[in-house]
């Protein structure tokens, strides 16, 4: 199902208290260009660093999801990310003057209202989805949580939870379509048991906790002593505790509010994939820690499965052939990448149009022209070189040399008229080293070439980049 990317129409700001830090934080929501993704910017720190919302940046999951990049942290991101996923907002930056996304009402509803107040703006580029071809299953060894993702053309979720305490017991929640997110999931608040709060507070969490912004359960009919302790702790009277009394459950927004909130958290954590997901996700006993491990395993699976990346071949490229020439030393007839459609921190998508006028066709099976396999690997190498070189200053001063080509396989012949989609993903972080004599970077990349839906070539490439004037 094709949808356009979205951002917001105008800048909007708000202030609130951070749930765990207890600090008053101002947040400003800023529209961003196509393919920017979801970002957080710490405007209170020198150089105002940016932390992208991606699974690789998750560093903690106790009572929330925390991101960190280059020692810059942003905590409690899950409700905000759920609101963005629920309204299908792709490109936006939340600027913060503190280390945590401020809490509004313990759910995602306040964020939904802010986004709608700012207005949603469609952008002239299609959404890029993650899809799967067959069922994906993840069993979390630490929590016994279980996740199953089924292929589908839309995005739906089903969550079941099981607590051996009143009143939760066994509950489930379902969201059949994101179009119902605001009405059915966004308002579900975080929940906690009364006897858990003091211990979490003493661990440094819930410092900004507001008892009116959460569902608090107690399986004691008269928790007066604990309530007095909380009143002293937070300097706020706690009146909305759900106890085993007939009228108490009326304080819930939904009879299954805990299960709906777990589904809300799951939506937010899955958004850390970096792009929307298509499929039917069924989760048993989801929680932040298990969610993050599931998302990491799923992303690894998605990058390794032989599925062509989502790429609009008619869209404006991020790099055209002239810009590519400024990064790579190759020239005709050996420049084998025509344009770069997508260039991220860990992946790149390039395009090579194969025509009958390629000079190698004159001598390579002239009666049955086939692109030589070695040139297919060279096209992957050049594409992966762009991925690595855009991370270094003065990329034109570097030369790239092969150190190894592993697990190279050719799955389909490439012939004139084919459009090659060159997809390369970093397998490890790029390793940089500098001495008095030379600067060197080592990159290990998984590269694949697709023609339409068909995998044509794949290989693991290990390359070394050396400054041109220092090459030996």
Mean pLDDT, residues 10-27 taken together: 90
Token pair recorded at residue 16: 């609130």
DSSP result, 349-379: EEEEE--TT-GGGGTSSTTS----HHHHHHH
DSSP state for residue 259 in the 8-state scheme: H
Half-sphere exposure of 21 (CA within 13 A, CB side): 18
Separation of alpha carbons 159 and 175, rounded Å = 9
Q: Give me the catalytic one of 113, 301, 330, 364.
A: 364
Q: Give me the catalytic one of 79, 288, 347, 423.
A: 288
Confidence of residue 472 (pLDDT cuts 50, 70, 90): very low
Token pair recorded at residue 329: 């030393």
34-53 residue pLDDT tens: 989 999 999 999 999 999 99
Token pair recorded at residue 346: 């860990």
Residues with Cβ within 8 Å of 130's Cβ and at least 6 positions away in sequence, in order, are 273, 275, 276, 277, 278, 302, 310
Which residue, among 436, 444, 434, has the nearest Cα to 466 in the 3D structure? 434
Q: Buried b vs exposed e over 15-30: b needs ≥16 C-beta within 10 Å? A: ebbbbbbbeebebebb
Look up 288 and say whether it is catalytic: yes
Q: In the prediction, which pLDDT does 164 show?
A: 85
Separation of alpha carbons 340 and 22, rounded Å = 45
The residue ranking higher by pLDDT, 284 or 169, is: 284
Look at strands 24-31 and 38-42 and give their pairing: unpaired
Which residue, among 245, 249, 283, 247, has the nearest Cα to 267 in the 3D structure? 283
pTM, 2 dp:
0.71
Token pair recorded at residue 144: 């016994």
Half-sphere exposure of 4 (CA within 13 A, CB side): 9
441-461 residue pLDDT tens: 788 999 999 998 788 999 999
54-93 residue pLDDT tens: 998 999 988 789 999 999 999 999 999 999 999 999 999 9
Separation of alpha carbons 7 and 84, rounded Å = 10
Mean pLDDT, residues 115-138 taken together: 93
Mean pLDDT, residues 87-104 taken together: 96
Mean pLDDT of the chain: 88
CA 189 to chain centroid, in Å, comes to 23
């Amino acid at each position: 199902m094709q949808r356009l990317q979205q951002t917001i129409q105008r800048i909007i700001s708000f202030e609130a208290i951070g749930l765990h830090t207890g600090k008053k934080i101002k947040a400003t929501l800023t529209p961003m260009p196509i393919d920017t993704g979801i970002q957080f910017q710490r405007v209170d720190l020198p150089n105002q660093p940016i932390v992208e919302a991606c699974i690789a940046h998750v560093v903690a999951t106790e009572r929330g999801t925390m991101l960190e990049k280059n020692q810059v942290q942003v905590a409690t991101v899950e409700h905000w990310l759920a609101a963005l996923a629920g309204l299908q907002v792709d490109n936006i930056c939340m600027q913060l003057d503190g280390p945590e996304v401020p809490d509004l009402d313990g759910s995602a509803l306040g964020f939904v209202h802010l986004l709608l107040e700012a207005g949603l703006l469609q952008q002239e580029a299609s959404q890029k989805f993650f899809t799967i071809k067959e069922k994906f299953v993840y069993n979390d060894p630490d929590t016994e949580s279980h996740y199953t993702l089924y292929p589908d053309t839309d995005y739906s979720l089903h969550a079941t939870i099981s607590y051996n305490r009143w009143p939760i017991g066994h509950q489930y929640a379902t969201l059949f379509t994101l179009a119902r997110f605001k009405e059915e999931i966004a308002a579900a608040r975080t929940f906690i048991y009364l006897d858990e709060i003091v211990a979490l507070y003493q661990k440094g969490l819930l410092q900004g906790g507001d008892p009116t912004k959460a569902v608090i359960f107690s399986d004691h009919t008269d928790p007066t002593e604990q309530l007095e302790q909380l009143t002293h702790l937070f300097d706020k009277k706690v009146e909305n505790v759900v106890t085993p009394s007939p009228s108490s459950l009326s304080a819930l927004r939904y009879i299954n509010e805990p299960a709906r909130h777990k589904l809300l958290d799951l939506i937010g954590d899955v958004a850390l994939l970096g792009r929307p997901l298509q499929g039917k996700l069924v989760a048993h006993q989801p929680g932040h820690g298990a969610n993050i491990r599931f998302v990491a395993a799923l992303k690894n699976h998605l990058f390794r499965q032989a599925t062509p990346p989502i790429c609009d071949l008619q869209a404006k490229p991020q790099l055209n052939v002239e810009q590519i020439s400024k990064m790579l030393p190759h020239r005709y007839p050996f420049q084998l990448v025509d344009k770069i459609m997508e260039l991220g921190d860990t992946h790149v998508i390039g395009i090579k149009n194969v025509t009958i006028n390629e000079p190698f066709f004159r001598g390579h099976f002239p009666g049955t022209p086939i692109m030589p396999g070695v040139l297919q690997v060279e096209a992957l190498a050049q594409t992966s070189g762009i991925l690595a070189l855009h991370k270094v200053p003065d990329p034109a001063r570097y030369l790239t040399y092969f150190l190894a080509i592993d697990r190279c396989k050719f799955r389909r012949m490439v012939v004139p008229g084919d459009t090659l989609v060159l997809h390369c993903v970093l397998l490890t972080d790029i390793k940089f080293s500098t001495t008095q004599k030379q600067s060197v970077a080592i990159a290990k990349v998984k590269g694949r070439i697709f023609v339409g839906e068909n995998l044509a070539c794949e290989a693991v490439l290990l390359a070394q980049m050396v400054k041109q004037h220092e090459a030996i």
